[in-house]
Amino acid sequence: MAALPHLGLNKQDVLAHFVDTASHFTGTIGATLICCENDRLSIVSSYGSAPPITPDSTTAGWLKMVLSYGDVVDVGETMPIDAVQPTGLHSLVSDSLVCVAIRAPAGRLTGVVLLTIPVPHARLSAAQTYALQTHAADLYEALQLHPISAASGSAAIERLRLLESVVVNAKDAILITEAEPIDLPGPRIVYCNPAFLATTGFSLEEVIGKTPRILQCEDTDRATLQRIRDALQRWEPVEVELINTRRDGTKFWVQLSIVPVANEKGWFTHWVSVQRDITERKDAERAVQQAQLDREERVALESRLFERERMQDELSYAAFHDELTRLKNRGYFMGRIQAALNDNGDGHVGAATVLYLDLDRFKYVNDGMGHHAGDILLKSVAERLKACIDPDAVIARIGGDEFAILLTGADHEAQAIETARRVTRALSVPTEIDGQPLFTSCSIGIASLDAQHSIAEDLIRDADVAMYAAKNKGRGSWAVFDLSMRQASINMLVMQNALKHAIARDEFYLVYQPIFSIASEAVVGVEALVRWRHPTLGNISPDVFISVAEDIGVAGDLGRWVMRNACREVKGWNSGTQGKIKLNVNVSGVELNRRDFAAQVADIVQETGFDPHSLQIEITESVFLHEPEMVAETLEELRAQGIRVALDDFGTGYSSLGYIDRYPIDSIKIDRSFVTRMMKHERSVAIVKSILSLGQALDLAIVAEGVETVGQLEQLRKLGCPYAQGFLLSPPVLARDAEALFLARKPKALD
C-alpha cells in the first residue's frame, strides 16, 4: 500500500485500505484506529466490524500491557485468561482481537490498530506477523501524507522499502518474492534479509533473481511442496514444516510461513516467506522418541523372564479354562466325561449326566449390540451358573454361547431336572448392559451315560440333539434325550445333504401368490415362492428348509435360482398380456450381506431380459441386524437399477418405522396378524389406518397380507387399502395357472 495513492484520502479510507489488505491473509473483518500522543488516546477511525473501545486511561494502560508482548499480539491467544479488559471488549464473544502497533521510523509508538478476526482462526504465523507490521508501517506513511520522492521510484519499490524496514533486522530468515508465476519456474526472489544469508550460507548475488527452489533437496517432502503450491494458487497464507538445504549441502528443518502482500487496489504484488530453523527442536523430538524406545526396550528386557514365568502359568491355566468366562473349557469337560466312562473298570458305564445349554437368540445380541455386549452377557451367564449349581458339579463353556454341566453320583438323573429348573430361573433375570436391561433364556438338552456311549463325544452328541429338541418346544425349555431324537437328528443330516444337491437335481419349483388391486380386483403383481419336492422325503415346508439352507451356506445359490427362474417366467407372461405384472422376490439377510449381490441381480436381469422397473425385492427388518451399512449400500445400488424395495411383515418388529426413515423403502406389506385381528379389535383397525396414512404421506405402496375372508377384504376396501393378497383372492399357483389367471383379469400397474 504505497503512500502516494492515499494523498487526498481521509483516515476512514486509509483504514479501509488497511482492513482490505489484511483480510487477504488474516480474515480481518473490521478495525479501530487509535492514535497515541503523550499517553493520550484518540479514536481516529473505525471500519467494518470494529471492536468497541473507550479511549480512556484504563484503555491506555491495557494497550501498554498488551504491546509489552510485541508489536503484533493475538490478544485471545497471548494474554492471560484472567487479564482485565477495557469496557466494551467483553462483548466480543464470537470474534478475536489482534493488536498491531504503529510506530514512527525511530520506533516511537504513534498509534494502534485493533483488528477483529472471526473465531476460530489459526495462530498467526511469523509471516503474517511481519506482513501486519509492514502494513502498519505503510499505514503510518499514509497517515503522515508524505508524498513519495522521485528517488523512491514506483509504488512497488516503495512497498519493498517498507517490507525491508520491518524485516531487515529480524532474527528469522526472510525472503520476499514476486507474486507470480506460481507454476514453474516460480516467483523470483527480490529481497532476502541478512538472517537468511547467515542461515543458508548463500550470498546476496546467489539469491536475488532465483526462486526458493534453490533450498530444496531430495529429502524435501513433495506432498508438503504440493500443499504450498495449492495455497499459493488460492492466494492464501500457508504454514508448514519441511527440510531445506544450505549452500554447502547440509540439511536443516525449517518452520516455513508464507503470506501474500496486496496493494491498495487488492492486487497481490509479493509473497513474504519466513523460515525459522527448527532443527534443534526436531533433533530433540527424535532424541525423546529414541529415549522412549530405549526405555521400552529396557523394560521389555527386564520383564521378559517374569513374563515367561507368567505365560507358563497362564498356559497351564488356559489348558483347562475358558479365557472369557474363567469356567472350565471343552477339553477339561470331555476328559471328565471320559473319566466317568472308565470309573468302574468292570465293563459297566459310570454314573454321569450332561446338561447342554445354548443361549436363545444370542446371535441377535452380538449383531444388534456388538460383540462387547455379547461378551458381557456370556460372563454374566457364567457367574449365574456358578451361583446356582451344586459345588460338586462341573461347569464348562464348550464354545460360543454353549455351556455344559456335568453331574455325577447316584442321583445324577433326578438331580438333572432340578438343575435345569434352577438354571432357567437364574437366567430369566435380566442382565443390564450399557444401562439397558437385556432378557435372555436358554435351551437345555439332558443326556445320561448308558451302554451305547463308548466315548465322551457320544454323550455330548446326544445332549446336543436333546438341546435342539428343547429349542423346538420354545425358549427357556429343556428336553431329556431319547432315541427318537437321535433319529430326528439323522433325518436333519439327511435333509441337509439332500438340500446341497437339490438345485442340480431340479427338485425346486416356483409358485406365485397373486397381488390384487382391491379397487379393480385385477392382478397387478405376484410374489414368487419356492417349494421343494424331494423324491423320498416328499414336500418339505419352506419354514424348515430355508433356515437350513442359511445354516449350511446354500441360501445364496437358492436365492439366485429363484430370482433367475422367476424373472424368466414372469417375462414370458408380460410378453403375452396387455399390462406389466410386477414380480416380488423375497431376499434374505444372508444374500444382502454379499457385496456382489446387486451386481448379481443386474446380471440376472440382463440375462433374462426382465424389466428391472417391474422387479421388487421383499425384505424383513432382520436383514438390518448384521452389517446394516453394507445392506443400505446394496439397497441403494438395487434402486439405482430401477428395482424397488418392500419391507415385509411391517408392524411386527421393534423398529420398523426407524427402518423406513433410514433406508430406501418403496413399499410396505401389512402383516397378516393385523389383518386377522382388525375384525375383532378396534386397536388393530387403528394400527392399519395409521399404516395406510403413513404410506400415503411417504408415497409408499401398501399391500395387506393374509386376506382370507370377505369381511377382511371389505374392511380393507373401506379403509382405502390399495392392494391385497391372500387365500380368499387366490392361493399360490403354479406358473401355468398364474398365466391363465392374468389373461382372465386385465392387470393394472402397481405404483
For 634, other C-beta atoms within 10 Å of its C-beta total 25
Instruction: Give the pLDDT confidence of 209-222 residue by residue, as tens digits.
Output: 888 888 888 888 88
The pLDDT of residue 266 is 66
Contact 591, 556 (CB under 8 A): yes
Kindly tell me if the per-residue pLDDT of 3 is higher than 60: no
pLDDT confidence of 681, banded at 50, 70, 90?
confident
pLDDT at 749 over 50: no
User: How does the average pLDDT of the chain come out, rounded?
Assistant: 82
DSSP state, 521? Answer: -
Chain centroid offset of residue 378 CA: 27
Q: How many whole angstroms separate alpha carbon 577 and alpha carbon 583?
A: 14
The pLDDT score that the predictor gives to residue 153 is: 45
For the residues of 357-418, what is the DSSP string, one character each?
Answer: EEETTHHHHHHHH-HHHHHHHHHHHHHHHHHHS-TTSEEEEEETTEEEEEEESTTHHHHHHH
Per-residue pLDDT for 83 more than 90? no
pLDDT band at 743 (very low <50, low <70, confident <90, very high): low
Residue 9 — very low, low, confident or very high, per pLDDT cuts 50/70/90?
low
84: its cell numbers: 482485565
**Spatial contact of 117 and 125, defined as CB atoms under 8 Å apart:** no
CA atoms within 13 A on the CB side of 683: 1
Q: How far is CA 432 from CA 356, 374, 476, 618, in A?
A: 25, 12, 19, 35
Which residues fall within 8 angstroms of residue 243, CB to CB, at 6 or more apart? 217, 219, 220, 221, 251, 252, 253, 254
Rounded CA-CA distance 32/15 in Å is: 8
The mean pLDDT of 293-319, rounded to a whole number, is: 80
Any residues with CB less than 8 A from the CB of 98 and at least 6 apart, and which?
26, 28, 72, 73, 74, 75, 114, 115, 117, 124, 132
Average pLDDT on 290-305 reads 84
Amino acid at 447: A
Average pLDDT (95-115) is 83
Provide the pLDDT for residue 26: 81
Whether 285 and 183 have beta carbons less than 8 Å apart is answered as: no
pLDDT at 482 over 90: no
pLDDT for position 471:
83
